[in-house]
Copies of this chain bind each other. A is one copy, B any other.
């Protein structure tokens, strides 16, 4: 990659960053080169994931956290993952419109991503976009995601600190445990903690953590009222504590290696599939012929796959 582009990224030139994001999101022809060229320039940003059910106040917490980081002169990039249905491809930014990058603060960059935009899979694209921010010298990258599905878990595996936000109304402890949110956090935030049920939720979480104490890091439970900024400073400080822990324990090196391996494997899977489907021209015909049969008379899918693989 020409030094001048790297320089533009380092200057946090909005146009240069946005252009690279488009290249990656649309998987343009040269996108593999782009991310390969960025590679030597990444690894300095600290990556934070904020997740939780709809209505838990993730956007507000993110906003308030950004204020703290900006006061400490840290630059922040936010990637808001808006999963959207594959059926219509739509994505709604909703209340985050306020955040678009007209704040005239070059050290703050907000990007929303949806399934629609990400040709090669949302979590993959989101990680590439994070690499662009990383190479651009942002100190902090925040992934904000809704839900608990595979996309979120993929994204969250790629961050350093995972924050799960809950509210007293999130449901009882069993409901939460069922949701899968409960086991992935480094930090729990009980937001809107001035409401009824916050203490119960705290007690349930605490009990659960005692019960599941098998890691060196014991997750913290924090109470916030994000709208008023209550508890945000403590959240910030606990993120830094977790960061220190990761450095101290050399776990970050392992994490780094795991990410590298995963990334390599992911590229290989993509290539194997692409090669297979693009070189065999008679595959489609074989499938189409089978589809003309009544479904009960068709070859079982696994046998059909075996037949195509033999072609």
A contact residues vs B (CB 8 Å cutoff)? 32, 35-40, 43, 53-55, 82-88, 90, 92, 94-95, 146-153, 157, 169-172, 174-180, 182-184, 212, 214, 256-257, 260-261, 263-265, 267-269, 271-273, 276, 287, 290-291, 295-296, 298, 300-306, 308-309
Contacts and interface: CB of A to CB of B under 8 A. Distances in A.
A264 B287 contact: yes
Contacts of A151: 149-150
B146 A153 contact: no
Given A88-B214, A147-B149, A269-B273, 18 more contacts: A39-B300, A39-B301, A54-B170, A54-B179, A82-B178, A84-B183, A88-B212, A90-B183, A92-B174, A92-B177, A94-B177, A147-B148, A149-B149, A150-B150, A260-B291, A261-B291, A264-B301, A271-B306
Nearest to A115: B180
Given A55-B170, A260-B301, A296-B43, A146 B180 contact: yes
Chain copies in the assembly? Answer: 2
Nearest to A290: B260
Counting chain B CB atoms within 10 Å of each CB, the highest count among A151, A172, A302 belongs to: A302
Contacts of A264: 287, 301, 304-305, 308
10 contacts: A38-B300, A40-B300, A54-B176, A54-B179, A55-B170, A55-B171, A86-B157, A146-B179, A147-B179, A268-B276
A184 B150 contact: no
A102 to B, nearest CB: 20
Contacts of A92: 174, 177-178
A187 B261 CA distance: 42
Contact of A308 (B184, B268, B296): B268
Contacts of A291: 257, 260-261
Contacts of A296: 40, 43
Given A39-B301, A54-B179, A183-B88, A148 B83 contact: yes
Contact of A295 (B148, B260, B308): B260
Contact of A43 (B43, B84, B295): B295
Contact of A54 (B53, B84, B86, B273): B53
A36 B84 contact: no
Nearest to A276: B272
A300 B35 contact: yes
A83 B296 CA distance: 32
Contacts of A257: 291, 295
Contacts of A94: 174-175, 177-178
Contacts of A271: 305-306, 309
